[in-house]
Amino acid sequence: MKLDLFPLPLSGVVLIRSARVSDPRGTFAETYVKGEFARSGIFSDFVQDNQSFSVSAGTVRGLHFQIPPFQQAKLVRVLRGKIFDVVVDLRRSSATYGKHIGVELSADGGEQLFVPRGFAHGFCTLVENTEIFYKVDAVYSAAHDRGVHWLDPRLGIHWPIETSRAMLSEKDRTLPALSGLSNHFE
């Protein structure tokens, strides 16, 4: 497996490209090989796979995270469509606490984003019928599920959708601002 790793400005967040082999039938790529990821510095032991499908462009999901002891690292990729993917550093002791980064991920590009523990994660679909797949290193726990409001002005995220046209769950509409969160990550 050939991995190209691109560390992003938030410590631990990595954009990953796996080599694709093409022939007249299409393409093939190894998207996850535990030993190869470990040799590249990603040691998460993934225990659950998740998949989401969004019908409409402009669907926003997030910004979500889980608190200890169920905090999660994620490995995110797009199976169909394209997203604007966002991570926010929630580690209070980090030099980049409260900072975010946004990257475009697409099925055509085959990129993956590794999101370490201690970050909120969310995305906005850029095209209709977008399907996301992600691995996590801790199982989902409703009691430990938290989030940050996607439009928190302190975060300054420039979402690629007009606010009035964004599609969100009621839960995501009512998430607190960063300033309203307890300190869960050092």
Tens of pLDDT, residues 126-184: 999 999 999 999 999 999 999 999 999 999 999 999 999 999 999 999 999 999 999 98
Q: Looking at the predicted structure, is the pLDDT value of residue 40 above 90? A: no
Confidence of residue 2 (pLDDT cuts 50, 70, 90): confident
The tally of domains found in the chain comes to 1
Question: What percent of the chain is predicted at pLDDT more than 90?
Answer: 95
Domain of residue 121 covers: 45-172
Residue 24 located in a structural domain: no
Residue 30 located in a structural domain: no
| Per-residue model confidence (pLDDT) at position 186 | 76
* Arithmetic mean of pLDDT, 66-82: 98
Contact present, 106 and 95 (Cβ < 8 Å): no
Q: Looking at the predicted structure, is the pLDDT value of residue 1 above 80? A: no
Residue 18 located in a structural domain: no
- pTM for this one? 0.95
Distance, CA of 17 to CA of 110 (rounded, Å)? 7
Residue 141 located in a structural domain: yes
Residue 83 located in a structural domain: yes
- Smallest CA-to-CA distance from 72 within 48, 105, 94, 41 is with 48
Confidence of residue 26 (pLDDT cuts 50, 70, 90): very high
CATH number at residue 161: 2.60.120.10
User: Looking at the annotation, which residues are catalytic?
Assistant: 64, 134
| Per-residue model confidence (pLDDT) at position 3 | 86
